[in-house]
Amino acid sequence: MRRYTRLTNGFSKKIENHEHAVALHYFYYNFIRKHQTLKTTPAVAAGLANKALTVLDLVAMMEAEEKKLGERITSYLPASSKSQDSK
């Protein structure tokens, strides 16, 4: 994972951003990515999930959590949204 390498554009300058990137990576690795030797995801092989998830499933889970909380999970906005908000 390139987040661990300081000489790349993906290097996390804040520890909080690094934690979130690592969490997303591990979720993808264990619940979404089908491994060659297992022919399925590690989560399905271990019995933690009934089926391999997709990125759309991850987004749906995040949206459901935000709806339950009544607010966004993060205050992050894309660069184009930030410039529009300041106008």
Residues in the chain: 87
pLDDT score, position 8: 63
> Could you list the residue range(s) of the whole structural domain that residue 15 is in?
2-85
Q: How far is CA 43 from CA 27, 53, 59, 65, 75, in A?
A: 10, 9, 18, 21, 30
Q: What is the CA radius of gyration of the chain?
A: 16
pLDDT 10s digits, 32-77:
999 999 899 999 999 999 999 999 999 999 889 889 988 887 777 7
Place of tokens 């030797």: 37
Structural domain count, the chain = 1
- Report yes or no on whether pTM surpasses 0.75: no
pLDDT score, position 1: 62
| Helical residues (DSSP H) of the chain, grouped into ranges | 15-27, 42-45, 55-69, 79-85
